[in-house]
């Protein structure tokens, strides 16, 4: 099939690349000219394992093309995916201006039957709004072309995006039209070969499914984070509890890892958008609000533990931070727990040496310039360089190379062997036996002040 994907970010680029890998002809469109130029040179704007090879191969073979001209792309295709950002507006609602702009542009250029597929995460009712906008543009032009609007939310995780797209758990298609449903079934047939993974429902149902999935996963995490604080206070090891409950097939092992909070461009934004959707309808989404609040607390937790151990004033102290990305496998730092921690440490007068295997460039671009100019924050080339002369190490992102470090080398390099582990990567007893003063999340020694704002 011939496809156009509008928006060449995490979702758009992965969607376009993966469909071209399956033999479809794909145009990827973006308003960002420099991004499109770099893609034409084979330069991938994001770090996403496996993506570069697919993009370069399919570009060379002519199945994947990049352009800023939506009209040209549309002329050559029958399915138009909208995969632009839906960032949080000031009141927490999803900002739909990019989606609506693309819908207008489609309406201005539509000249044959097409399926318009919304892949962006959008509030319930957006499909209808997209349809109205396209119709308005067609009316302005005095033409009448049939088209269908379909919702096809994306469930990929950053760091595992290609795999998630190629081997989805399910493919949700929100469609009110048999013709459009058939087009979508044909398009996704290869991804649903052995088991029928395609689920067809109404457009509004599909829009809500996406938010509900993210909110459910965020709820599991916030719930476990709250339990981890209680475990720590009770002298219980939350990791034992995690394994104990995960073995219950009704609960499962995934997304119950306690830590220093969830980040990324989706969970925080989507929980807030759902809260906003409920409040707009005079509902009080108590669970969702708590999930969000708990996460804000959780992101402050490492900093609170550090100030309980070292005092509120951290001037003269230096900390190593291992991991800046919001999760391993990506260079994305949107809403990363590392950002809250850096503000706490540097705000209290500390100096920070930070290391991340891939997010250094993102950090230089997105963190305050003054931190780098005044050397309050120094990014190191290697994980061990960040440990030189530090008063403590703080592990924020569980990259694999942090899992089994050379603990002897760590002790030699650090001024004092103090470790704050925001992702429960190490065994507390082993750490203590090796001479580390070790603090984790919900296990081992307790370092929460009784009156902490994060106490529960």
Ligand X SMILES: O=c1ccn([C@@H]2O[C@H](COP(=O)(O)OP(=O)(O)O[C@H]3O[C@H](CO)[C@@H](O)[C@H](O)[C@H]3O)[C@@H](O)[C@H]2O)c(=O)[nH]1
What residues contact 139, with CB distance under 8 A and at least 6 apart? none
Least distance CB 155 / ligand X (angstroms):
4
- Of residues 238 and 413, the one with the C-beta less far from ligand X: 238
* Structure tokens that stand for 134 in this block: 């396209």
Q: How far is the CB of 178 from ligand X (least distance, A)?
A: 28
* 312 labelled binding-site residue: no
Per CB under 6 A, 326 contacts ligand X: yes
Which of residues 39, 96, 215, 256 is near ligand X by CB under 6 A? 256
Taking the C-alpha atoms of residue 242 and residue 255, their distance in angstroms, rounded to an integer, is 10
Minimum distance from residue 319 beta carbon to ligand X (Å): 20
Give the separation between CA 218 and CA 162, rounded to whole angstroms: 22
102 binds ligand X (CB under 6 A): no
Q: Which string of x and - marks every residue 77-116 that binds ligand NAD (by CB under 6 A)? A: ------xxxx-----------x--xx--------------
Q: What is the dihedral of CA 160, 165, 167, 169, to 10 degrees?
A: 100
User: 371 with 377: CB under 8 angstroms?
Assistant: yes
226 in contact with ligand NAD (CB under 6 A): no
Site for ligand NAD in 239-298 (CB under 6 A): 265-266
Closest to 117 (Cα-Cα) out of 163, 28, 31, 181:
181
Instruction: Give DSSP secondary structure letters for 63-85.
Output: SEEEES-HHHHHHT-SEEEE---
> Is 158 marked as a binding-site residue?
yes
Question: From ligand X, ligand NAD, none, which one binds at residue 11 (CB under 5 to 8 Å depending on kind)?
Answer: ligand NAD
**Are the C-beta atoms of 120 and 99 separated by less than 8 Å?**
yes
Which of 3, 5, 28, 29 touches ligand NAD by CB under 6 A? Answer: 29
Alpha carbons within 13 angstroms on the beta-carbon side of residue 26 total: 27
Closer to ligand NAD by CB, 154 or 226: give it: 154
Does residue 121 touch ligand X according to CB under 6 A? Answer: yes
Integer Rg of the chain from CA: 24
Output the smallest distance, CB 264 to ligand NAD, in A: 7
Q: Using N-to-C axis directions, what is the helix angle for 203-234 and 267-280, rounded to 10°?
A: 110
Residue 84 touches which of ligand NAD, ligand X, none (Cβ within 5-8 Å per kind): ligand NAD
Q: Which does 12 bind (CB under 5 to 8 A by kind): ligand X, ligand NAD, none?
A: ligand NAD
Interaction between residue 319 and ligand NAD (CB under 6 A): no
Q: Is 12 in the site for ligand NAD (CB under 6 A)?
A: yes
Q: Is 380 left (phi over 0), alpha (psi -120 to 50) or beta?
A: beta
Rounded distance between C-alpha atoms, residue 281 and residue 328, angstroms: 37
Find all residues with CB under 8 Å of 189, minimum gap 6, and list them: none
- Residue whose beta carbon is closest to ligand NAD: 9
Q: Give the residue numbers annotated as catalytic, written as ranges.
A: 266
Q: What are phi and psi of 316, to 5 degrees?
A: 85, -10
Neighbours of 312 (CB within 10 A): 8
Judge whether 102 and 7 are in contact, CB under 8 Å. Answer: yes
Q: Where are the alpha helices (DSSP H) in 311-336?
A: none
> Is there a binding annotation on residue 168?
no
Query: Minimal distance in Å, beta carbon 298 to ligand X?
Result: 8
Span 262-301, contacts to ligand X by CB under 6 A:
262-264, 266-267
Interface residue with ligand NAD among 48, 137, 148, 154 (CB under 6 A) is 154
Tokens representing residue 234 in the block: 């009770």
**How many binding residues for ligand X (CB under 6 A)?**
20
Q: What whole-number distance in Å separates Cα of residue 164 and Cα of residue 50?
A: 12
Find which of ligand NAD, ligand X, none residue 120 binds, CB within 5 to 8 Å per kind: ligand NAD
380 annotated as belonging to a binding site for a ligand: no
30 is in an annotated binding site: yes
**Which of 36, 96, 156, 352 lies at the binding interface for ligand NAD (CB under 6 A)?**
156
72 Cβ partners below 8 Å, 6+ apart?
A: 27
Among ligand X, ligand NAD, none, what does residue 32 contact (CB within 5–8 Å per kind)?
ligand NAD
Q: Is 163 exposed, middle or buried (0-12, 13-18, 19+ CB in 10 A)?
A: middle
Per-residue mark of binding to ligand X, 156-195 (x: CB under 6 A)? xxx-------------------------------------
Question: What CA–CA distance (Å, rounded) separates 229 from 298?
Answer: 9
Q: Which is nearer to ligand X, 79 or 340 (CB)?
A: 340
> Which one, 266 or 320, has the nearer CB to ligand NAD?
266
Binds 257, which of ligand X, ligand NAD, none (CB < 5 to 8 A, cut-off by type)?
Answer: ligand X
Q: Would you give the DSSP letter of residue 285?
A: -
User: 156 among the known binding-site residues?
Assistant: yes
Residues making up the binding site for NAD(+) = 30, 35, 86, 121, 158, 269, 334
Per CB under 6 A, residues contacting ligand X are 121, 154-158, 214, 217, 221, 255-257, 259, 262-264, 266-267, 326-327
């Amino acid at each position: 099939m011939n496809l156009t994907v509008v928006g060449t970010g995490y979702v758009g680029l992965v969607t376009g690349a993966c469909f071209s890998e399956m033999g479809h002809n794909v145009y990827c469109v973006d308003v960002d000219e420099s991004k499109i130029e770099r893609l034409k040179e084979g330069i991938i704007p994001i770090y996403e394992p496996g993506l570069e090879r697919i993009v370069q191969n399919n570009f060379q073979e002519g199945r994947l093309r990049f352009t800023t001209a939506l009209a040209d792309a549309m002329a050559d295709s029958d399915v138009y995916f909208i995969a632009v950002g839906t960032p949080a507006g000031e009141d927490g609602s999803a900002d739909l201006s990019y989606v609506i702009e693309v819908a207008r542009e489609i309406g201005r250029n539509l000249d044959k039957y097409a399926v318009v597929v919304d892949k962006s995460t959008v509030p319930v009712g957006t499909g209808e709004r997209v349809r109205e906008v396209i119709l308005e543009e067609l009316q302005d032009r005095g033409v009448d072309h049939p088209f269908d609007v379909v919702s096809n939310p994306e469930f990929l995780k950053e760091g595992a995006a290609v795999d998630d797209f190629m081997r989805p758990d399910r493919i949700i298609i929100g469609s009110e039209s048999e013709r459009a449903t058939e087009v979508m079934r044909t398009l996704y047939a290869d991804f649903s070969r052995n088991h029928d993974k395609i689920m067809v429902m109404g457009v509004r149902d599909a829009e809500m499914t996406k938010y509900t999935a993210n909110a459910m996963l965020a709820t599991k995490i916030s719930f476990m984070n709250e339990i981890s604080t209680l475990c720590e206070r009770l002298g219980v090891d939350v990791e034992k509890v995690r394994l104990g409950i995960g073995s219950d097939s009704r609960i499962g092992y995934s997304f119950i890892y306690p830590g220093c909070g969830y980040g990324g461009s989706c969970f925080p934004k989507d929980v807030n958008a759902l809260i906003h959707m409920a409040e707009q309808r005079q509902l009080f989404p108590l669970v969702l609000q708590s999930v969000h609040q708990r996460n804000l607390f959780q992101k402050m937790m490492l900093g609170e533990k550090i100030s309980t151990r070292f005092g509120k004033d951290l001037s003269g102290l230096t900390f190593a931070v291992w991991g800046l990305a919001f999760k391993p496998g990506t260079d994305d730092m949107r809403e990363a727990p590392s950002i809250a921690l850096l503000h706490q440490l540097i705000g209290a007068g500390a100096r920070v040496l930070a290391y991340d295997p891939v997010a250094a460039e993102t950090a230089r671009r997105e963190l305050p310039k003054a931190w780098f100019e005044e050397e309050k924050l120094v990014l190191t080339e290697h994980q061990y360089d960040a440990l030189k002369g530090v008063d403590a190490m703080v592990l924020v992102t569980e990259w694999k190379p942090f899992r089994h470090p050379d603990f002897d080398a760590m002790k030699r390099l650090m001024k004092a062997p103090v470790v704050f582990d925001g992702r429960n990567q190490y065994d507390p007893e082993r750490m203590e036996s090796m001479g580390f003063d070790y603090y984790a999340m919900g296990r081992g020694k307790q370092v929460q002040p009784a009156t902490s704002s994060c106490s529960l």
